[in-house]
């Protein structure tokens, strides 16, 4: 991994960055959608209920697939950060810049996806040597314990205009193949329970649901509700329903 110092985050105060993101949302989606997002954010700050599904994939079961060569997956390094800053600006999420710099400085690893020289997506991951208890595992009480052959994947994002046509499947498959080739056998992650497109994608790619975890937040304070104790894999097989 590139060990050169990370480039500085584009200089914007928290308030100006937020205003820039709001203007971006207005230009892309219009006033009605902007207001809907603002109301949703305010509500989530006051009270929110979250339910996620823990996922697991056996990387030894990956089958070889034929894809076009248009999508190029590379190790994400500090050299990719300027392109990532521009990427976040385009998706109206400049606050993600600080998180990306922090992740690089923490030694987190990632993959960047390029099409004809344009950054179109990214994927972050850690193993137990890098971070045995990632912030997601703690925040959502996912009860994931990484072993020497396990890896936790997070923050997978592909630009909306590049989704469809099998691009998301291709991106994931290439990431999974890279991780398998490094000697990892189990890939862990989670998906928000009501995100049906993402759950369908992971189901198509062979991820198995392990458990549901629910929690509530009041004024940003997490109040655990609990996790389903029985295996969702068993429930899914018996009912024939993708969970």
Q: In this predicted model, what pLDDT tens digit does every residue of 110-144 receive, in sequence order?
A: 999 999 999 999 999 999 999 999 999 988 889 99
> Rounded to an integer, what distance in angstroms lies between the CA atom of residue 127 and that of residue 147?
8
Higher pLDDT, 15 or 6: 15
Higher pLDDT, 239 or 139: 139
Q: Please answer whether residues 111 and 170 qualify as being in contact, where contact means their C-beta atoms are separated by less than 8 angstroms.
A: no
Q: Please answer whether residues 142 and 190 qualify as being in contact, where contact means their C-beta atoms are separated by less than 8 angstroms.
A: yes
> Rounded to an integer, what distance in angstroms lies between the CA atom of residue 121 and that of residue 107?
19
Q: Please answer whether residues 185 and 58 qualify as being in contact, where contact means their C-beta atoms are separated by less than 8 angstroms.
A: yes
Helix (H) or strand (E) holding 33: helix 14-46
Task: Indicate the average pLDDT of the chain.
Answer: 82
Q: Please answer whether residues 72 and 79 qualify as being in contact, where contact means their C-beta atoms are separated by less than 8 angstroms.
A: no
Higher pLDDT, 147 or 45: 147
Distance of CA 165 to the CA centre of its chain: 20
Q: Which residues pair with 121 in a beta bridge?
A: 113, 158
pTM higher than the cut 0.85: no
What is the structure's pLDDT at 217? 64
Q: Is the model's pLDDT at 229 over the cut of 50?
A: no
Tell me the pLDDT band of 7, cut-offs 50, 70 and 90: low
Percent of the chain whose predicted confidence (pLDDT) is above 90: 53
Tell me the pLDDT band of 220, cut-offs 50, 70 and 90: low
Interhelix angle 196-204/167-181, rounded to 10 degrees, is 50
Interhelix angle 81-90/96-105, rounded to 10 degrees, is 160
> Rounded to an integer, what distance in angstroms lies between the CA atom of residue 19 and that of residue 13?
10
3-state secondary structure at position 1: coil
Tell me the pLDDT band of 43, cut-offs 50, 70 and 90: low
Q: In this predicted model, what pLDDT tens digit does every residue of 65-98 receive, in sequence order?
A: 888 778 999 999 999 999 999 999 888 888 888 8
Range picked from 9-18, 160-169, 177-186 for highest mean pLDDT? 177-186
29-48: b or e for each residue (b if 16 or more CB lie within 10 Å)?
eeeeebeebeeeeeeeeeee
What is the structure's pLDDT at 45? 61
What is the structure's pLDDT at 241? 34
Q: In this predicted model, what pLDDT tens digit does every residue of 209-218 receive, in sequence order?
A: 999 998 776 6
Tell me the pLDDT band of 64, cut-offs 50, 70 and 90: confident
Measure the N-to-C terminal CA separation of the chain; round to a whole number of Å. 36
User: Which two structure tokens, joined as six digits, stand for 66?
Assistant: 């034929």
Find out if CATH 3.20.20.330 is the number for domain 14-239. Answer: no
Q: Which residues pair with 226 in a beta bridge?
A: 214
User: Which two structure tokens, joined as six digits, stand for 27?
Assistant: 């230009």
């Amino acid at each position: 991994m590139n060990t050169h110092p990370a480039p500085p985050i584009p200089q914007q105060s928290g308030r100006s960055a937020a205003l820039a993101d709001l203007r971006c949302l207005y230009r892309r989606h219009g006033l009605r959608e902007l207001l809907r997002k603002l109301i949703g954010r305010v509500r989530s700050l006051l009270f929110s209920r979250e339910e996620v599904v823990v996922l697991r994939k056996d990387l030894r079961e990956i089958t070889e697939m034929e894809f076009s060569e248009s999508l190029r997956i590379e190790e994400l390094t500090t050299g990719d950060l300027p392109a990532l800053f521009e990427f976040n600006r385009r998706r109206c999420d400049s606050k993600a810049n600080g998180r990306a710099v922090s992740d690089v400085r923490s030694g987190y690893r990632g993959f960047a996806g390029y099409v004809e020289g344009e950054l179109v997506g990214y994927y972050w991951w850690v193993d137990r040597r890098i971070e045995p208890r990632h912030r997601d595992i703690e925040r959502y009480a996912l009860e994931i314990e990484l072993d020497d052959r396990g890896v936790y994947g997070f923050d997978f994002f592909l630009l909306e205009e590049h989704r469809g046509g099998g691009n998301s499947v291709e991106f994931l498959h290439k990431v999974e193949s890279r991780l398998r080739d490094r000697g990892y056998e189990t890939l862990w992650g989670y998906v928000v329970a009501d995100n049906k497109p993402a759950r369908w994608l992971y189901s198509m790619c062979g991820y198995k649901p392990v458990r549901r975890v629910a929690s509530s937040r009041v004024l940003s304070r997490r109040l655990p509700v609990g996790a389903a104790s029985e295996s969702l894999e068993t429930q899914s097989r018996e009912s024939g329903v993708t969970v």
